[in-house]
Amino acid sequence: MLDLDLGSRIRAVRSTYADIAAVMDLPKLEREIGEFEEQAAVPGLWDDQEEAQRVTSGLSHRKARVAKLRGVQNRLDDLEVLIELAQEMDDDDSANEAKSELVAIEALVGELEVQTMLSGEYDDNPAVVTIRSGAGGVDAADFAEMLQRMYLRWAEKHGYRVQVMETSYAEEAGIKSTTFEIDAPYAFGTLSVEAGTHRLVRMSPFGAAGKRQTSFAAVEVIPLMPEAVEVEIPEGDLRIDVYRSSGPGGQSVNTTDSAVRITHIPTGTVVSMQNEKSQIQNRAAGMRVLQSRLLLLQREEEAAKKKEFAGTITASWGDQMRSYVLAPYQMVKDLRTEHEVNNPQAVFDGDIDGFIAAGIRWRSLGKAS
């Protein structure tokens, strides 16, 4: 007879799941889905692009949350049936399948539990991520591109929609900066713990052989504001420059001046966009991000919490929040949470959920204390 006593673990998972479902308010989510579906069915919805995006994004986010919650419930029910069959048939293969499934469900419930800690005013908004190379020369530019790939791979693994808004390439290798939007449930709340200075230690492929190089990159995360259109910006406060989009090595990838750089003169805020095909599209995308940043500045000033979201990130010694060490040993360690892994390649391939979850828990504990 098989010794397959998983009852206590299943009861624990069900208890945690019940708490999560209560916090997320499943009936409210389903009511909101109905309301968004009614709005989505209104003729002429897409005549107003901003409103259509708000409705479709709100609908898809809530459906995803409900599907995940319902999915856990269904998988737990199926797991208990599988355990009964394994015991009745004395089937080792079914028993192993049940054990693996329980581990997967526990991990999923853990993710949902972390999500309940996201209660900030903007946590449910899409996220706009900006990465800038810091101290370290060409290695820093290469590191910035490695981080961009890391976050894009993370989003891809989760099936999140990503739009790269602007990338400024360095002359020798890597990038000077990049900005991209990730649209997913709780994207800002999730990724905001990634904001800060990241440090890379490795044997430089660009410098003298056998010499270790330390380089830095800054990650800024801000929420994309659906109400950003309410920010009025006088035309006289803007300076708009146009230029040709550039690719790796400084080569031009466009024969027209389609890239746009928008400067908000009173605050010095600069947004660059080059990934759309036309100057008009790049200007519209740039204004959307600029309005989000200006709205944040307004809120920060009102609340006397300047730098609460993006913070002052110098991308140099003394303020790093995570280290990626490739030599003389292999380790990625978050200096705030102490979370670490010994497989940097997996991390650079987008396996950062453990770091994000640890960061959210750390932040939640900090707010509670």
Listed in sequence order, the residues at least 6 apart from 76 whose beta carbon sits closer than 8 Å to its beta carbon are: 10, 13, 14, 17, 105
Query: What residue has token string 């713990």?
Result: 193
Tell whether 38 and 133 lie within a shared domain: no
Do 211 and 327 reside in the same domain of the chain? yes
Top pLDDT among 148 and 251 is at 148
pLDDT value, residue 122: 83
Mean pLDDT (the chain) is 85
> Over the stretch 181-231, which tens digit does the pLDDT of each residue have?
998 888 999 999 999 999 999 999 887 666 889 999 999 998 887 654 456
The last residue of a domain, from among 275, 303, 331: 303
207 with 347, same domain: the answer is yes
Q: Please compute the mean of the pLDDT values over residues 39-61 and round it to a whole number.
A: 86
Inform me whether the pLDDT recorded for 355 exceeds 80: yes
Q: Which residues are CB-contacts of 199 (< 8 A; sequence separation ≥ 6)?
A: 214, 215, 216, 320, 322, 323, 324
- Its domain, for residue 251, covers 229-303
Residue pair 98/83 in contact by the 8 Å Cβ criterion: yes
Check residue 51 and give its pLDDT. Answer: 85
pLDDT at 229: 47
pLDDT digit string, tens, across residues 75-117: 999 999 999 888 888 888 888 999 999 999 998 898 888 888 8
In a domain, 1, yes or no: no
Over residues 157-181, the pLDDT tens digits come to: 988 999 998 899 998 899 999 999 9
CATH code at position 178: 3.30.70.1660
More confident residue, 341 or 278: 341
Residues 233 and 220 in one domain: no
Task: Inform me whether the pLDDT recorded for 247 exceeds 70.
Answer: no
pLDDT of residue 305: 42
Give percent of the chain above pLDDT 70: 86
* Residues 218, 324 share a domain: yes
316 shares a domain with 283: no
Kindly state the greatest CA–CA separation across the chain. 80
Q: What is the pLDDT of residue 171?
A: 86
Single-letter residue type at 307: K
| Same domain flag for 147 and 92 | no
Residues 15 and 148 in one domain: no
For residues 261 and 333, membership in a common domain is answered with no
Q: Tell me which residue has tokens 């929609």.
A: 161
- Are 323 and 364 in a shared domain? yes
Per-residue pLDDT of 255-296, as tens digits, reads 567 788 899 998 888 888 887 778 888 888 888 888 888 887
Reported as a single tens digit per residue, the pLDDT across 295-331 is: 877 777 765 443 455 555 655 555 689 999 998 899 9
Average pLDDT over residues 60-83: 91
Predicted TM-score (pTM) of the model is: 0.71
